[in-house]
Amino acid sequence: MRFIIEAKNERGLGWSSGKVGVVFGAVLRSLSGWSEKTPAIDRLLEGYADKVGVYSGRVSVENGETPTFLNEIIKGLQEGQDIQQHAETYLSWAEKIGKSRIDSIVSKQYRRAYDRAAQVLGSLAETHIAMGNEKKALALLRRYYHEKYNRHSAFRREVKSVVAGSALLRGCGFL
């Protein structure tokens, strides 16, 4: 995945103006095994994909509708190389950049972005659960919710909202 190489050294802030948010969401979507039970990942990917303009090179339209950038990304990922071969490398990158994003937003108290930080946290947790590692997902959620940012009630409220919106996260027994 060429975009992972390009996004490898991106910062935790500034995802809205670049492709790192799209790459982050696409990697998590691929690592989740294309589970249909990952609404946090889907919302995150869709949110960042909608902010990035791209010409796909396709001339035809499907079912009379112009393909969206999100649909193009998902189609490309499904047709591309098997990400599972390098799952540990991609997951390590996603965790590093995702945690950096959460920490950058919450520690600097960018309250308007707490929803995005919670979405990143929920997406990482969904990925761990979809990959069969519920314990790691719970540890990640607990670390940010109960330990690291336990005094940030607005962030905690956003995390609760993300967990409530995901059957996968609700089912893991976090809240």
Question: What is the full per-residue pLDDT of the chain (175 aa) written as tens digits?
Answer: 454 545 455 555 556 656 788 888 888 988 887 667 899 998 998 888 776 554 444 444 455 555 566 666 666 666 656 667 788 888 999 999 999 999 999 999 999 999 999 999 999 999 999 999 999 999 999 999 999 999 999 999 999 999 999 999 999 888 8
Tell me whether residue 137 is in a domain: yes
User: pTM (2 decimals)?
Assistant: 0.81
Tell me whether residue 160 is in a domain: yes
What is the pLDDT at residue 30? 85
137 membership: H or E segment, kind and range:
helix 134-142
Tell me whether residue 11 is in a domain: yes
Tell me whether residue 175 is in a domain: no
What is the pLDDT at residue 76? 66
Please give the residue range of the domain that contains residue 159.
2-170
What is the pLDDT at residue 70? 67
Tell me whether residue 106 is in a domain: yes
Domain count, the chain: 1
Tell me whether residue 75 is in a domain: yes
Tell me whether residue 124 is in a domain: yes
d(CA 31, CA 3): 16
What is the pLDDT at residue 150? 96
Yes or no: say if 138 and 174 are a contact pair by the CB < 8 Å rule: yes
What is the pLDDT at residue 72? 67
